[in-house]
Amino acid sequence: MSNLFALLAGLLFGLGLDLGGMTKPAIVLGFLDVAGAWNPQLLFVMAGAVLTTAGGYVLVLRRSHPLLDGNFRLPTTRNIDMPLVVGASLFGIGWGLIGYCPGPALASLAAASPKTFLFVATMMLGWWLGERLTRRCA
Amino acid sequence: MNVFAISALGGVLIGLSSVLLMAMLGRVAGISGIAGGLVSTRASGDRAWRVAFVVGLILAPLLLLALRGDNGVASPDAGLLKLAIAGLLVGVGTRIGGGCTSGHGVCGIARLSPRSFVATTIFIAFGIGVVFAVRHLGWGGQ
């Protein structure tokens, strides 16, 4: 049952990415190109997403636990530390180079482009590497 | 409907997805965390839901292709080296930083997490910086 809802959530997410234009790197880069022909589309996507999630979370997190699990798994780290800053910086650079972040990149695998495969492959390598790095320095 | 309204609607769908995932599974809809967990070396009994979520993500453009004849996906305009490096940076960065545009930018900010506000500000700033450098300063030989 959990897996079915996870699938549904992924599907909804992917549809949202499409409507938001996020599976088109040019639109994302257009949002980041503040000095050029700026495209504010992503701003509206973020606003819609954050507001909906904020409202939904308020309602959902009132419960003692999720419907299909014993616990809510919310991040417990609170402090703003070096890994957060360094990580966000590296991610931002990678994002600005192509216009892909994890969600759109994975969804775009549906188009079976070798370029997307390459990006996703190195992204997965990066996840693996990142985990090794954080474990070593922990 | 104009493009901004449609974009906002897309955001609402992303939000609904996040709320659904939290309501049902109690998980943050942070793609780097969900999918990153699949390549984690830690023994994990919770791979199935992650696979299901990613399958759903990939199914979306296929569904759109069936419904309207267009999967909505555009190929990135970059060479192989740039793609590989960007992928690596996104992977390492989101792992070390603990999130991405969905995890920090949507879910974290929705929870008013100071960490997420900081992370989101930083990655947007660097994204803007890179695009500026490439498009307006001629870095990377563009």
Using CB atoms, which residue from A5, A80, A126 is nearest to B25?
A5
The single-letter code of the amino acid at A36 is: G
CB neighbours (10 Å) of residue A80? 14
CA A28 to chain centre: 13
- Among B63, B73, B106, B135, smallest CA distance to A35 is for B135
Which residues of chain B from 48 to 67 reach within 8 Å of chain A, CB to CB? 48-65
Residue B141 has pLDDT above 70, yes or no: no
| Average pLDDT of chain B, as a whole number | 95
Tens of pLDDT along A27-56? 999 999 999 999 999 999 999 999 999 999
What is the C-alpha separation between A17 and A43, in angstroms, rounded? 13
Tens of pLDDT along B43-100? 666 899 999 999 999 999 999 999 999 999 999 989 999 999 999 999 999 999 999 9
Residue B142 has pLDDT above 70, yes or no: no
- Among B131, B123, B89, smallest CA distance to B106 is for B123
Q: Give which of B22, B27, B82 to mutate to test A binding, by max A Cβ within 10 Å.
A: B22
Distances (CA, A) of B94 to A92, B31, B69, B76: 9, 10, 33, 20
The secondary structure of residue A69, as a DSSP letter, is S
What is the C-alpha separation between A56 and B117, in angstroms, rounded? 19
Using CB atoms, which residue from A7, A20, A123 is nearest to B90?
A123
Q: Name chain A contacts of B122, Cβ cutoff 8 Å.
A: 85, 88-89, 92
Q: Per the CB < 8 Å rule, is A32 touching B71?
A: no
What is the C-alpha separation between B88 and B81, in angstroms, rounded? 11
Which chain A residue lies closest to B80 (C-alpha atoms)?
A115
Q: Per the CB < 8 Å rule, is B58 touching A14?
A: yes
Tens of pLDDT along A63-108? 999 999 999 999 988 899 999 999 999 999 999 999 999 999 999 9
User: CA geometry: angle at B129 spanning B86 and A97, to 5°?
Assistant: 20
CA B132 to chain centre: 21
Hey, what are B24's tokens? 């049902």
Q: Per the CB < 8 Å rule, is B13 touching A13?
A: yes
Q: Name chain B contacts of A119, Cβ cutoff 8 Å.
A: 76, 83-84, 86-87, 90
Q: Give which of A2, A4, A8, A17 to mutate to test B binding, by max B Cβ within 10 Å.
A: A17
Q: Name chain B contacts of A12, Cβ cutoff 8 Å.
A: 13-14, 16-17, 20, 56
What is the C-alpha separation between B27 and A73, in angstroms, rounded? 5
Reported ipTM: the value is 0.96
Q: What is the pLDDT of residue B1?
A: 74
CA B139 to chain centre: 25
Q: Per the CB < 8 Å rule, is A94 touching B24?
A: no
Q: Name chain A contacts of B97, Cβ cutoff 8 Å.
A: 83-88, 90-91
Tell me, yes or no, if B137 comes closer than 8 A to chain A by beta carbon. no
The owner of tokens 């409507």 is A19
> Could you tell me if B24 and A70 are in contact, meaning their C-beta atoms sit under 8 angstroms apart?
no
- The confidence band for B40, taking pLDDT boundaries of 50, 70 and 90, is confident
Hey, what are A53's tokens? 């999630």
% of residues, chain B, pLDDT over 90: 90
Q: Per the CB < 8 Å rule, is B73 touching A17?
A: no
What is the C-alpha separation between B134 and A129, in angstroms, rounded? 27
Q: What is the pLDDT of residue B44?
A: 67
CA A134 to chain centre: 20
Q: What is the pLDDT of residue A22?
A: 97
Hey, what are A60's tokens? 């959902």
